[in-house]
Each structure stands twice: as C-alpha cells, then as structure tokens.
Amino acid sequence: MNLFFQQIINGLTLGSIYGLVALGLTLVYGILHVPNFAHGALYMVGAFMSYFFMVDLGVHYWIAMAGSAAVVAVLAILCERLVFHPLRHSPPIHDKIAAIGILLFLEAVVQMFWGSDFRRLSSPFTGIMNFDGLIIPEQRLLIIVAAFVLVFVLQMFLRKTMTGATIIAMAQSREGAFLVGIDANRVAMMTFAISGALAAIAATLYAPINLVYPAMGHLVIMKAFVIIILGGMGSIPGAIVGGMIIGFAEAFGGFYISTAYKDIIAFGLLVLILSARPQGLFAKGAH
C-alpha cells in the first residue's frame, strides 16, 4: 500500500512541475495564439541560471531562484519584443519556426558556456520525512507546496487585480481588449515575463531531484505541449489538470508497466486522445 502512496507522491511532484511549465505556455498561447516552442529553452536557462547563482556566486537557494526567475523573465520579454512582436502579422508557421530558432540559439549558447555535461544542483532541503513507512523527500514536498502556492497566487492575480484582468481580457478577445483601451504591448510583455518566471521557478524546483544539462528542456516542453492540448490551449485550469493527468500517468505507468518506456506514456496518451477527439479533452468546440 505504501508503494501505491509513494507513486501518488511522485505523480503529484511530476504533475506540479509539468503544470507550472504548461501554465506559462498556456498563458502565452492566449496572447500569441501560437505555441511557443522556445519555452523549454527558457526552462533550461532557468535551471542554468540557478546553478550559476548558487555555485558560482554562492547565494542561497531561494535567492538563486528569485534571480533566475528575474533573468528568464527579462529574456522572455526580449523574445517577445525582438521576435514575436515583429511577426504578429505573419502566418502562424513563421512564429513556430522563429520560436524553434530561439530554442536552438539558447541551447547552443548554454552549451558554449557550460558544456553538455550533466550537473547537479544542490538544495538545502535534503531531508526525508517518514510518515509511518511512507517516505517523502523534503524537496518533493517543497515542489508540491510551491506549485500549489504559485497557482493560487497567479489565480488571485488574474482574477482580482486590474493588471491580471487585462491578460484574461486579451486572451478572450484581442479586438475587445483593444476597444476598452488595453495596451496590447504591455500585456504581451507581462505575459511573457510571467511565463518565463514560472518556467525558471519550475526548473529550479525540479533540478535538485533531476540533473541540469542543455537538453533538459526537450522532454519537459514536449510534455507541456501534450498537457495544453489535453487541457485545451489557453485554458488555465486545463493546464493544471492536464499536468496532473500526465504526472500521475507517468508515475504509475513507470512503476507498474515499464520504466524504460515511461517517457512514451505521455505521447502515447496524446496520440490516443487526439485520435479520438481531435479538439482535445476539454476544448469546447473544434478549432
């Protein structure tokens, strides 16, 4: 029975990380209407920034996380200003290719500075909690708690503040948002900043139980794509629910079916679901 609960904890951990990454992706999709393939690179840069702050500058884990979130947020704003903004009237295929360009560039830059070795990010939370045989590492607990807090704060920001409401308004209807005098540039930059910061925080949270390397974003971003398709592109609750679905499917599939193929589960699930419902699980109508 304990093993079963252990898998629930693993599923929650994975689901929290995937949910945070997918949340940023889905927010940007709401503004850009194009999936940002560079999001995984932002996640990877986030992990490397934290590594840089902690190992090279020797600052504390929390400060490194905040610093990394700030750097990646600025990087995301730069992407918006320099790349996606000039492309706003181009056919969607151009945004996708440009995003791939950013992804390749960031990966190559990181690889130039840090090489392609696998690195470990240490965390101050190395302890293990033992609840009557159920073992929970502190870092995993931290991930779950942090994800819930972040989602709550983001939800409050989007629902209760004026600035947050402009993001929702823009995602619902671009023209409508313009009509009531919302500054599209400001909203777009803010959305990119939030999405970049979320990716950096998720990466910093997850790095201590995983490894840091230039290709670390590939799998996570592809799973985040799977999640936002499952949850409906642009939907915030969808991103969180989808993240949990994939997290649990991986934790249980990896344990009960096969560890070697656990990464295929998410993609196999997507192929199955899209074959049956081309518009995704929660989307209201076909797009």
Partner 1 sequence: MLFKLGSLFMKPGAKLAMLAFAVVFPFLASNEYQVYVMASAFVWAIAVYGLNIITGYCGQLNLAHGGFFAIGAYTLGLLTADAGWSFWPAFIAALVVTAVLGFLVGIVSLRLKEHYFAIFTLCVGFIIYLLIDKWEELTHGPIGVRDIAAPYGFGVVDFTETTPFYYLVLAFLVFAIWFMGRLSRSLLGRTFIAIRNGDELAQSLGINLMRNKVLAFVLSTTYAGMAGALYAGMVRFIGPEEANIIHTFDMITYLLVGGIGTLTGPLLGTVGIVWITQSLQFLEEYRMIIFGPLLVILVIFFPRGITGQFLTWMHHKAQSIAPAKKRKESKVVTTQRREVENNA
What residues line the site for partner 1 (CB under 8 A)?
Answer: 33-35, 82-83, 86-94, 96-98, 100-109, 111-112, 173-175, 218, 222, 225-226, 229, 233, 260-261, 263-264, 267-268, 270-271, 274-275, 278, 280, 287
Q: Return d(Cα 182, Cα 176) in angstroms, integer.
A: 9
Taking residue 193's Cβ as centre, other Cβ atoms within 10 Å add up to 20
Compute φ and ψ for 107, nearest 5 degrees.
-65, -45
CB of 102 to partner 1, least distance (A): 7
Helix 236-256 to helix 217-231 angle (10° resolution) is 120
Closer Cβ to partner 1, 21 or 270, answer by number? 270
CB of 137 to partner 1, least distance (A): 27
CB of 126 to partner 1, least distance (A): 32
Closer Cβ to partner 1, 66 or 249, answer by number? 249
Q: What residue type is assigned to position 105 of the chain?
A: F
CB of 29 to partner 1, least distance (A): 8
Closer Cβ to partner 1, 101 or 127, answer by number? 101
Q: Is the dihedral of CA 11, 14, 18, 19 positive or negative?
A: positive
Q: How far, in whole angstroms, is CA 273 from its chain's centroid?
A: 21
CB of 59 to partner 1, least distance (A): 28
CB of 109 to partner 1, least distance (A): 6
Closer Cβ to partner 1, 190 or 265, answer by number? 265
176: Cα within 13 Å, side-chain hemisphere: 9
In the chain, the N- to C-terminal Cα span, in Å, equals 43
Closer Cβ to partner 1, 77 or 134, answer by number? 77
Q: Return d(Cα 68, Cα 87) in angstroms, integer.
A: 27
Place of tokens 């992706």: 25
Place of tokens 């993240």: 243
Closer Cβ to partner 1, 106 or 202, answer by number? 106
The tokens describing 96, both together, are 């996708």
